[in-house]
Amino acid sequence: MKRLNRNSNDPHKSTGNDAVSRAPEPKCGLNPMKLMGIFVACLMILSVLFSVSVIFNDPIYESVWIGAEARVLEVNPQPEVRGSQDDSSHPAEVPKDKLLGGLLAAGFDERSCLSRYQSVLYGKPLSHIPSSYLISRLRRYEARHKQCGPFTESYNKTLEQLKSGKQTGPSDCNYVVWVSFSGLGNRILTLASAFLYALLTDRVLLVDRGVDVADLFCEPFPEVSWLLPTDFPLTAQFSSFDQKFVYSYGNMLKNNHFANSTKVPPYVYLHLAHDYDDQDKLFFCDEDQSSLQKVPWLIMKSDNYFVPSLFLSDSFEQELRKLFPEKQTVFHFLGRYLFHPTNQVWGLITRYYQAYLAKADEKIGIQIRVFDTGAGPFQHVLDQILACTLKEKLLPEINRQANTVSTPVKQKSTAVLMTSLNSGYFERLRDMYWEYPSTTGEVIGVYQPSHEGYQQTEKQMHNMKAWAEMYLLSLTDKLVTSAWSTFGYVAQGLGGLKPWILYKPENHTVPNPPCRQLMSMEPCFHAPPFYDCKKKTGVDTGALVPHVRHCEDMSWGLKLFDNEK
C-alpha cells in the first residue's frame, strides 16, 4: 500500500484523491476532454485501491498478511500486543515452533484461541523435548476423541445404554467424566491426572463445565468438544456423589458387587478426593483396574494430583515409561497441551505482561499462600520471604546508608511479580526497594496484579484472575512458591521451573532454612494411598521405586523424580 504513495511529495506527481485537488491550472492548456480523462483515471486508481483493500481483508489472504507480521516479530524480540473487540490480543502468527515440538496439533482456528500458538512469544520454549511416542499417542487420542466425542454416533449409542441401565454389549467408546470440584489449582492438576488416566486406559475424557471451565480454558482437541453436554443425565447428581453413593467404587466393593455379579454396571463413581477411604484407594491396584475396564462410564471426582500412584501400577508402567522417559515432565507436557487460556484470560495475561514485565532484564515470581487463620499480613511470612530471596541471591540486599542519586547509566532491571490474596507483602517489598537502592545497583520493580482478600472458588472473575496469575508466574525466569500450594505447582509445571519453595511455618516462626530449591518440577500428590496391592498390606509407597518419592514440602506426599536417590 505504501508503494502506491512513494512519490506523493513530488510536486509533479500525485495519486489517489489528490489528483483532482491538485489538477493543473487552465494555463497549462488542458481542455475539458483532458480534464475528463484525468477524472476517469482517478476513478480507476480508487477502484484498484479498494480492490487491494478487499483482498487483504479477505480471510483467504489472511495467512499472507499474518506471515508478514511474523517476519517483523523475528526482528523485534518483544511481541506487539494490540487490543481487539473480543477483549484479547490480536493474533500474531509465530513461525518459531508454535506447535511445541509436535506436542500441539495443527489445524485449529487460531483466532478462537489466541494463546494456543501465540504463547511462545511470551513464555520460554518447552524445558524438555516430548518423546515421539507421546506425540503419536496424543494424535491417536485426538482421533479417538473425534470418533467418540459429544453427539457422535458412538457417544449417542453409549449414552442410550447409560439412560436405560442396560448393557447391550461392549461399547465402541468408553469414557471418564471429570467432575469440576475444589479450587482452581486443584482442578487443573486433577484434570491433567484424569486425562493421563484416559490416555492409559483408551478412554475419552469429558469435562464437567462447572461454573467456569469454558470461560477459563480453550478446547484442547480438534473438531470435537471436550465439554460434557448440558443434557448429560447424571450432571444434576454430581454434587451429591460421595463415598456412600450407591455406585461409588469403594461402596460397591464393600457390597461385593464385582465379586458376586457378572453384570457390568452402567457407570461407576470414583471418589478420589482427600477424604477417600481404603476401599476407594483400591482404584490404584491392577486387579481393580481389570474390574473397571469394561465399565463404559467412569465418573471421577478428585482434588488430588494422583499421577504418582499411576506410576506404581504394573499395568501402566511400560506405557508410562515410553510416554515420559523423563518422569518429572508429566505435568509440564500435559499442562502445555491441555490448558490454553481463553481469549479473555489471555488478554489479562498479555496486557499485564507488556505493561510490567516485558522490558525487565530478569523476571522473578513470588507466590504467597498463607494457611494461618486471621488477618494478614504476618510479619513472620514477610521475614521468611526476605530470608529466602536474599539468602538464595534471588534479590539483592538494600543499602540503607546510601544517600546518592542514581547515575544515568542503564542498570540491570528486575521485575518481581508477586501473587497473594493479601496486598501487604507486596507493599512492604515494593516500599523497601523504593526507599533504598540495591547494593548491586540493579533496579527492582515489584508488582501484584490482584489482591482478592480470600479465596472465592465459585466466582468467575476471581478464577479468571487466578488463572491469569498462575500463567504469568510461569513466564518468570526464577520462581519462589509456598509449600502445599497447588497454585504454585501449576505455575512451576507450566513454566518448566524448579522453584525455591517456602517451607510451611509453624507457630508463627520463620523456618530454618526458610526455603529450598526443588529437585523436580512435578506437583505433589497430597493424599496418596499407603498400600501394597500385591502383598495386600500397608507400605511406604514413597520407597518402592526410585522415581516415586516423598515431596520436599510434604513428608507424606508422593512426587515424581528423575534422578536416583
CA atoms of 292 and 175, how far apart (whole Å): 11
Q: What is the mean pLDDT of residues 185-192?
A: 98
DSSP 204-256: EEEE--TTTHHHHB---SSSS--BPPTT-TTGGGGGG-STTSTTBHHHHHHTT
For the cut 50, the answer to whether the pLDDT of residue 451 exceeds it is: yes
Provide the edge-to-edge strand list for the sheet that holds 362-367.
443-447, 413-419, 362-367, 478-482, 500-502, 515-517
Sign of the dihedral defined by the CA atoms of residues 97, 102, 107, 112, in that order: negative
Which pTM value belongs to this model?
0.82
pLDDT digits over 125-151, tens only? 788 999 999 999 999 999 999 999 999
For 203-230, the pLDDT digits (tens) are 999 999 999 999 999 999 999 999 999 9
Predicted confidence (pLDDT) at residue 306 exceeds the cutoff of 60? yes
What is the residue-averaged pLDDT of the chain? 84
Task: Give DSSP secondary structure letters for 398-435.
Answer: B-TT---PPPSS---EEEEEEE-S-SHHHHHHHHHHHH
In the numeric block, the cell 546508608 is attached to 401
Summarised one tens digit per residue, pLDDT across range 457-488 is: 667 788 999 999 999 999 999 999 999 999 99
Rounded to an integer, what distance in angstroms lies between the CA atom of residue 549 and that of residue 526?
Answer: 12
User: What class is the 346-523 domain?
Assistant: alpha beta
Give yes or no for residue 518 having a pLDDT over 50.
yes
Domain with CATH 3.40.50 in the chain: 346-523
